[in-house]
Chains A and B, each alone.
Chain A
């Protein structure tokens, strides 16, 4: 039955339609083709346990070599907040005329860090996990989403620390704390969406990962993490466009929502107009848009 094929084998290769027809007759499909969008969503849903297990595993592995272990989950954000307090609260004196400055600052830092590290991790989600992408089949969107989920888990540790800080600084427990939940859901959707956009860009051009820290740092300084956008906007010397842009900035919106939910001295009038609509709009735009943008290049990840 065997045959030695002399190279190149001109006659041995069966005609094109023979094999294609054979494949079609038995319902075989082209390997590695991109699934349709509904099918993709279904596959992703089927991998939801992998997404959460991968996120938790990454989070646990992070500090497993440290002596203090998981204590660092809480220590790291606290130390971060302490550094920012020292620089912006003590040295630069930004705290003037912001009531409850420490809770204000710490909330800002934690919520900002959530967005920042999600986007950073998203940028490397494909380019940093090529081994995984090249070895196993799964909807690739599982990676950026999983990294965003890991950051969400990280944030929950930070929020536990935040609650302690709030109580220490005399912020009362209030029913409005429940608003933190919808705010987090919206922010997570936004972060995951942006992560997917960055993951596709980072997969094609890994150099973007070098650029992102600078972009993110600039974004942080205009997002009112350490200062009050509201106070700035109420001064009259700013052009209206700038005020609107500052207030529409999604990072600023999510930070202010969380402050509004948690800190009693941060009143509704400090919030920009239509804040929930803006927050939902950003979440939907980034979440759905980012997902479709990422899916469009699904078959190209990890190749070439």
Chain B
């Protein structure tokens, strides 16, 4: 990998990116019929009067990512990490600035293309096709995908409908399908938190492999350990602003000081300074056993 980094071929260039969400129907009497009518009748009014609120999710973020890098994105909840990833993937428009990419970055995730009523086997094909893999390539990698997911370790589950799977099994299959494709730029949102410990190990290994083959990996996670294990560079977003950009250890140290984690031990999350109670419990509960499949909250 080192020699790749030396080439310094940029794969993602973010040039002073601003991202703004507009949320409809937040004005007085939100969602009521009269408010909706009002909105339709008075088209030409200002956004504010129309009850549209602007959420400035990412503010003037610039960075350059190079081939062979694995970059972690950290920050407390709601700091704009997932939003930034979606914009890099080209799935969200930027308000101002530009994002240039090499090839088509893809979010790791095929959940939306899979159907619970179909067998795991058919879902492997459907998911692969949805990601744009040719049929022959899926056939070729089919066995690897199934073996990697470990679905068949406890019997012939791959020929059963996905609705019969436990949530952990389904999450593992989804990750396996998504990770089967070679990506130029791969964007991962909290994916490592799925599955049991042995599956997490395999996932990390697979991500390292993807990195070697492909280009650049972005990883959003609240699990500081997986950031440390996978990434050598970290971007720290706070309230939509890029607060720090540098080698993992340096940034993580600052970040942990910021979030109040004192111990050097692998720690998870990111309690917001004000939301203390529930988060503290989380922190205690966390370490050895990975959490149940985490929903990737838009953060």
* Partner-contacting stretch, out of A52-60, A98-106, A287-295: A52-60
Interface residues of B in 8-63 (CB under 8 A from A): 9-16, 21-22, 59-60, 62
CA distance in complex: A22, B64 (Å): 9
Chain A residues whose CB sits within 8 angstroms of the CB of B102 once the complex forms: 26-28
Residue of A nearest to B67 (CB): A26
A28-B10, A50-B130, A303-B93 given; A129·B243 CB < 8 A: no
Asked if A29 contacts B106 (CB within 8 A), the reply is: no
A5-B241, A64-B117 given; A28·B13 CB < 8 A: yes
Does any Cβ of A come within 8 Å of B158's Cβ? Answer: no
* Partner-contacting stretch, out of A134-142, A231-239, A246-254: A134-142
Asked if A2 contacts B104 (CB within 8 A), the reply is: no
Asked if B15 contacts A32 (CB within 8 A), the reply is: no
Chain B residues whose CB sits within 8 angstroms of the CB of A170 once the complex forms: none
A1-B246, A30-B99 given; A135·B132 CB < 8 A: no
Asked if B91 contacts A302 (CB within 8 A), the reply is: yes
Residue of A nearest to B62 (CB): A13
Q: How many A-B residue pairs have CB under 8 A?
A: 163
Contact with A along B88-118 (1 / 0, CB 8 A): 1111110000111110111101111101111
Interface residues of B in 108-144 (CB under 8 A from A): 109-113, 115-118, 122, 125-126, 129-132, 134-135
Contact of A53 (CB < 8 Å), options: B22, B90, B125: B125
Does any Cβ of B come within 8 Å of A14's Cβ? Answer: yes
Does any Cβ of A come within 8 Å of B145's Cβ? Answer: no
Asked if B64 contacts A129 (CB within 8 A), the reply is: no
Does any Cβ of A come within 8 Å of B242's Cβ? Answer: yes
Asked if B91 contacts A5 (CB within 8 A), the reply is: no
Contact with B along A20-51 (1 / 0, CB 8 A): 10110011111111000000000000110110
CA distance in complex: A135, B178 (Å): 11
Smallest beta-carbon distance B99→chain A, Å? 5
A4-B243, A9-B60, A135-B109 given; A61·B117 CB < 8 A: yes
CA distance in complex: A65, B87 (Å): 38
Does any Cβ of B come within 8 Å of A268's Cβ? Answer: no
Asked if A3 contacts B62 (CB within 8 A), the reply is: no
Asked if B135 contacts A49 (CB within 8 A), the reply is: yes
Asked if B122 contacts A57 (CB within 8 A), the reply is: yes
A30-B100, A31-B89 given; A136·B13 CB < 8 A: no
Chain B residues whose CB sits within 8 angstroms of the CB of A1 once the complex forms: 246-247, 250
Does any Cβ of A come within 8 Å of B244's Cβ? Answer: yes
Chain B residues whose CB sits within 8 angstroms of the CB of A129 once the complex forms: 112
Does any Cβ of B come within 8 Å of A19's Cβ? Answer: yes
Contact of A131 (CB < 8 Å), options: B22, B112, B135, B238: B112
Asked if A26 contacts B247 (CB within 8 A), the reply is: no
A22-B10, A31-B100 given; A50·B88 CB < 8 A: no
CA distance in complex: A20, B10 (Å): 12
Contact of A8 (CB < 8 Å), options: B59, B117, B135: B59
Chain A residues whose CB sits within 8 angstroms of the CB of B241 once the complex forms: 5, 7-9
Smallest beta-carbon distance A47→chain B, Å? 7
Residue of B nearest to A54 (CB): B126
Interface size on B, residues (CB 8 A): 62
Smallest beta-carbon distance B145→chain A, Å? 16
Chain A interface size, under 10 / 10 to 19 / 20 to 34 / 35 or more = 35 or more
Chain A residues whose CB sits within 8 angstroms of the CB of B122 once the complex forms: 57, 60
Does any Cβ of A come within 8 Å of B261's Cβ? Answer: no
Contact of A50 (CB < 8 Å), options: B59, B104, B132: B132
Chain A residues whose CB sits within 8 angstroms of the CB of B247 once the complex forms: 1-2
Contact of A137 (CB < 8 Å), options: B9, B115, B132, B250: B132
CA distance in complex: A62, B62 (Å): 46
Chain A residues whose CB sits within 8 angstroms of the CB of B204 once the complex forms: none
CA distance in complex: A134, B239 (Å): 23
Smallest beta-carbon distance B67→chain A, Å? 10
Smallest beta-carbon distance B161→chain A, Å? 7
Contact of A31 (CB < 8 Å), options: B90, B112, B113, B134: B90
CA distance in complex: A33, B109 (Å): 21
Asked if A4 contacts B254 (CB within 8 A), the reply is: yes
Does any Cβ of B come within 8 Å of A185's Cβ? Answer: no
Chain A residues whose CB sits within 8 angstroms of the CB of B207 once the complex forms: none
Asked if A13 contacts B16 (CB within 8 A), the reply is: yes
Does any Cβ of A come within 8 Å of B279's Cβ? Answer: no
CA distance in complex: A65, B139 (Å): 28
Asked if B59 contacts A136 (CB within 8 A), the reply is: no
Does any Cβ of A come within 8 Å of B212's Cβ? Answer: no
Asked if A5 contacts B131 (CB within 8 A), the reply is: no
Residue of A nearest to B114 (CB): A57
Chain B residues whose CB sits within 8 angstroms of the CB of A131 once the complex forms: 111-112
Residue of A nearest to B9 (CB): A26
Does any Cβ of A come within 8 Å of B225's Cβ? Answer: no
Q: Can you give 13 A-B contacts (C-beta < 8 A)?
A: A5-B241, A9-B241, A9-B242, A16-B16, A29-B100, A47-B132, A49-B129, A49-B134, A49-B135, A50-B129, A136-B107, A299-B93, A303-B93
Which 8 A/B pairs are nearest by Cβ-Cβ distance? Answer: A2-B246, A32-B90, A23-B100, A131-B112, A28-B100, A31-B90, A50-B129, A61-B117
Further 11 A-B residue pairs, CB within 8 A, beyond A23-B13, A31-B90, A135-B107: A8-B241, A16-B15, A19-B100, A26-B102, A27-B102, A28-B13, A29-B101, A49-B135, A60-B118, A65-B117, A135-B113
